[in-house]
Amino acid sequence: MLVVELGVWVIPLTLVFVPCRRIVVLLARLQELYRSMTTVPRLVITSREEDMWSRLARLNSMAFMM
């Protein structure tokens, strides 16, 4: 009986917290993008910036998961 009661609370809470975590990650990535766009442009593109752009390209598919 305890397992059923825990399941009644755990499943709805995960349905709330998982999208919230994804929104927080999305906002963090958007802030990083904004910071990179507002700084003085450099001629050399670092591997971190390439990684950021590849992740931003996947944001479209991430929106459908939410």
Domain positions in the chain: 2-58
Q: Give me the pLDDT at residue 19, please.
A: 83
The answer to whether residue 62 scores a pLDDT higher than 60 is no
pLDDT digits (tens, 9 = 90+) for 4-57: 777 788 888 888 888 888 898 999 999 988 888 887 665 566 677 777 777 777
User: Do 30 and 55 meet the contact criterion of CB atoms below 8 Å apart?
Assistant: no
Q: Which residue's structure tokens are 């904004």? A: 34
Q: What does the angle CA 14 – CA 17 – CA 26 come to, to the nearest 5 degrees?
A: 135
Ramachandran angles phi, psi of 46, nearest 5°: -80, 165
Q: What is residue 43's predicted lDDT score, i.e. its pLDDT? A: 59
Tokens 């709330």 appear where? 16
Residue 41 to residues 36, 50, 54: CA-CA distances in angstroms?
Answer: 8, 14, 19
pTM score, two decimals? Answer: 0.45
